[in-house]
Amino acid sequence: MTKNNLPFEEYIVDGYNVRIFEEKTDSDEFVWHRDKEDRIIESIHKTNWKFQKDNELPINFDEKIFIEKEVYHRLIKGEGDLILKIKKLV
């Protein structure tokens, strides 16, 4: 866990939030949660981590993923670090 008590490090790059989720982070840190705004996320590298929305099957990071605000979702840990580019839609 990082100093902000979240399971990632975050940077702002060219108007995007870039989050790094480290492989060493315990799987229990990746909990179901929801966000206050719509967002589009994408992995900036090939990965076997997965993404899951409430009441849906997990999916791969093969393309951009749209997450509606207030929809529960979570990450499923894979191998290696995961680096996500996030665009918050306000």
61-84 confidence digits (pLDDT tens): 999 999 999 999 999 999 999 999
- Give the CATH number for residue 22: 2.60.120.10
Number of domains in the chain: 1
Q: Is residue 3 part of a domain?
A: no
Which tens digit of pLDDT belongs to each residue from 13-58?
A: 999 999 999 999 999 999 999 999 999 999 999 999 999 999 999 9
Q: What is the pTM of this model?
A: 0.91
Q: Tell me, what amino acid is at 87? A: K
Q: Provide the residue range defining the domain that includes 48.
A: 9-89
Does 55 reside within a domain?
Answer: yes
User: Is residue 38 included in any domain, yes or no?
Assistant: yes
